[in-house]
Amino acid sequence: MSPARDNHVPRQRGRRTSKGRDARYKDRLKAGVEEPDSVVRKSRYFTLTNMAISAVVLSILVPVGLGLLRDVDAKLSTSAVRPLPDKAQIIQQKSFNVLETVPPPSEANATTEFLWPGVTHKSLTDRPFHVYDPEFYDVIGSDPSLTLIATSDTDPIFHEAVVWYPPTEEVFFVQNAGALAAGTGLKKSSIIQKISLAEADALRSGSHANSEVKVTVVPSSPQVINPNGGTNYKGQIILAGEGQGDNIPSTLYLMNPEEPYNTTALVNNYFGRQFNSLNDVAVNPRNGDIYFTDTMYGYWQNFRPEPGLPNQVYRLNEESGALTVAADGFVSPNGLTFSPDGSYAYVTDTGLSNGLFGSNFTRPSTVYRFKVQGDGTWENRKTFAHVAARLPDGVHCDSKGNVYAGCADGVHVWNPSGKLIGKIYTGTTAANFQFAGDGRMVITGQTKLFYATLAASGVALS
Ligand SMILES: *[C@@H]1O[C@H](CO)[C@@H](O)[C@H](O)[C@H]1NC(C)=O
Ligand SMILES: *[C@@H]1O[C@H](CO)[C@@H](O)[C@H](O)[C@H]1NC(C)=O
Ligand SMILES: *[C@@H]1O[C@H](CO)[C@@H](O)[C@H](O)[C@H]1NC(C)=O
């Protein structure tokens, strides 16, 4: 999606007023709810030890609980001795579960950066791989890296539809169609662009001649109007176009990823009615069908008419042309992906953001999971994760089934049970991202483009 005001997250830290603090503190000490400062501080120095101990305890208890005793030895040896990579830091959620002062919603809400006592924006971005759970070591490996590879002044050209195209080792992405700073909307359509992974990697290793990679505009023909989501499809790329004004309907396009970048429309209506503004698209690896989200950011960002359909998820069988609805009941279905075997669907609902109409903090900023039935229909909608850092936009799985979403402070990573195991902390909006094969990822941060290397791999391409 394309909320315009993603870029600068105002910072909020636990308020530390001196007035009356000591008195309140003493009262709480007496009441037994607070540890003396020295203990609190000391406990932070034991972070590493605690983590190592928890890792050992977990690796014993979890397998025992599951009756998987044969795994104990292997897990003990891997988790206990793993050193913390240079670019990683351990985050103890327990260290901020009880804060001295918890500010009201007018000061601490979905748009503010949460900085708990002991951390700063700088300390969080200096070592950007945040380990919330030892499972994250398997995701990042022993030497992860995060490199800023391109920037733009104010135009959010690094937005979404991040697609890796292996034959040319390029990564495609699109400009934000709805942000005021993009100058798009009714005046002009947002652009498709691409970069070379070889250049990104040269920049990471310090062997690139320039300080940024080259960003090339892709002249699709006929032009894809206001693309927002994208995915690989049979060697080509599908792009979800939001449409423009009354007369250019939202369209799902197939684009040739090589010159002349010719395109073919796959679907542009639901029984004669315009979609609201198509947002994201994913292909189910089991049945090969194309699923896509339709939501109303085009209207909320003033470049599409008032919606004429519910905000819902559609399914297209390209061969037969059958177009059905896979799920509804959302405020704003946005990012969409499948688990590696196609048995689960994940949809982000970004109802919290109403684009230029503002935010409503009681609406979803939530990842939902559905069970995909053998016949491709969805059931058992489950609340998978709620994101505190504004909202989860793009969502993708790795080859092991962990779930990643682009949020206001970076890419959050959950295990398949919905436990937050870590973050790739960009310190700025990560609208979307995509794996580019084994151990490589490109993250679009509106005015910033990042390249990450890690241990995890993306799912097989469709
Ligand atoms: C959310 O927090 C920010 C930063 O403290 C504040 O400026 C804004 O007014 C708050 N929003 C609401 C609706 O209270
Ligand atoms: C692009 O043009 C080629 C040659 O005519 C055609 O084979 C291919 O299907 C086209 N691709 C798309 C996505 O339109
Ligand atoms: C915020 O969303 C809730 C739930 O959808 C709704 O009841 C409420 O009216 C909304 N508030 C505003 C100010 O629009």
pLDDT for res 61: 47
C-alpha dihedral over 263, 266, 268, 271, to 10 degrees? 160
Give ligand 2 pocket residues (Cβ under 6 A).
236, 254-256, 262-264
Cβ of residue 362 lying under 6 Å from some atom of ligand 3: yes
The number of beta carbons lying within 10 Å of the beta carbon of residue 97 is 8
Q: Give the per-residue pLDDT at 32.
A: 32
Q: Please tell me the distance between residue 309's alpha carbon and the centre of ligand 3 in angstroms.
A: 20
Q: What pLDDT is stored for residue 82 in this prediction?
A: 85
Residue 360 Cα: closest atom of ligand 3: 1
pLDDT at 13: 43
pLDDT in tens, the chain (462 residues): 544 344 334 444 433 333 333 333 333 333 333 333 333 333 333 344 444 445 444 454 444 444 343 333 344 444 556 899 999 999 999 999 999 999 999 999 999 999 999 999 999 999 999 999 999 999 999 999 999 999 999 999 999 999 999 999 999 999 999 999 999 999 999 999 999 999 999 999 999 999 999 999 999 999 999 999 999 999 999 999 999 999 999 999 999 999 999 999 999 999 999 999 999 999 999 999 999 999 999 999 999 999 999 999 999 999 999 999 999 999 999 999 999 999 999 999 999 999 999 999 999 999 999 999 999 999 999 999 999 999 999 999 999 999 999 999 999 999 999 999 999 999 999 999 999 999 999 999 999 999 999 999 999 998
Question: How many angstroms separate the CA atoms of 303 and 306, rounded?
Answer: 10
Closest listed residue to residue 408, CA positions, set 90, 93, 1: 1
- Please identify which residue in the block is written with the tokens 């490109």: 442
Distance CA 58, CA 236 (A): 44
- For the chain, the first-to-last Cα distance in angstroms comes to 23
Distance of CA 286 to the CA centre of its chain: 23
In this structure, the residues whose C-beta lies within 6 A of any atom of ligand 1 are 10, 12, 105-107, 109, 111-112
Locate 378 and state its tokens: 């969805």
> How many Cα atoms occupy the beta-carbon half-sphere of 58 within 13 Å?
13
Question: Which of 330, 361, 362, 363 for mutating ligand 3's site (highest number of atoms within 8 Å of CB)?
Answer: 362
Q: List Cα–Cα distances, 120 to 15, 69, 124, 223, 387, in angstroms.
A: 13, 41, 6, 44, 20
Contact criterion met (CB below 8 Å) for 56 and 79: yes
Task: Say how many Å lie between the CA of residue 51 and the centre of ligand 1.
Answer: 34
Give the ligand with the smallest distance to the CA of 256: 2
> For 360, how many CA atoms within 13 A lie in the half-sphere containing its CB?
11
φ, ψ for residue 416, nearest 5 deg: -65, -10
Candidates 360, 363, 366: which one to mutate for ligand 3, based on the most atoms within 8 Å of Cβ? 360
- For ligand 1, what atom is nearest to the CA of residue 110? 1
CA dihedral 240, 160, 334, 183 (to 10 degrees): -80
Distances (CA, A) of 170 to 137, 160, 202, 360, 370: 28, 15, 14, 38, 32
Judge whether 116 and 99 are in contact, CB under 8 Å.
Answer: yes
Closest ligand 2 atom to Cα of 254 = 13
For residue 390, the tally of other CB atoms under 10 A from its CB is 24
Q: Which residues of 417-444 are buried (b: 16+ CB within 10 A; e: fewer)?
A: eeebbbbbbbbbbbbbbbbbeebbbbbb
Ligand nearest to the CA of 261: 2
For residue 449, which phi and psi values (nearest 5 degrees)? -120, 130
Contact 370, 344 (CB under 8 A): yes
* DSSP code per residue over 328-359: ---S-EEEEEE-TTSSEEEEEE-TTB-GGG-B
The span from the CA of 439 to the CA of 430, in Å, is: 18
Output the six-digit token pair for 274: 């315009």
Q: Is the CB of 360 under 6 A from ligand 3?
A: yes
Crossing angle between the packed helical segments 72-81 and 47-66, to the nearest 10 degrees: 170
Question: In a 10 Å sphere around its CB, with 0-12 CB exposed, 13-18 middle and 19+ buried, how is residue 120 labelled?
Answer: exposed
Q: What are the structure tokens assigned to 330, written together? A: 């959302």
Tell me, using a 6 A CB cutoff, whether residue 363 lines ligand 3.
yes
Distance (Å, whole) CA 458 – CA 212: 25
Give the DSSP H/E element, type plus range, for residue 163: strand 160-165
Tokens of 389: 């850092």
Residue at 48: amino acid letter = L
Give the pLDDT of residue 81: 65
Ligand 1 atom, smallest distance to 10 CA: 4
Ligand nearest 238 Cα, by number? 2
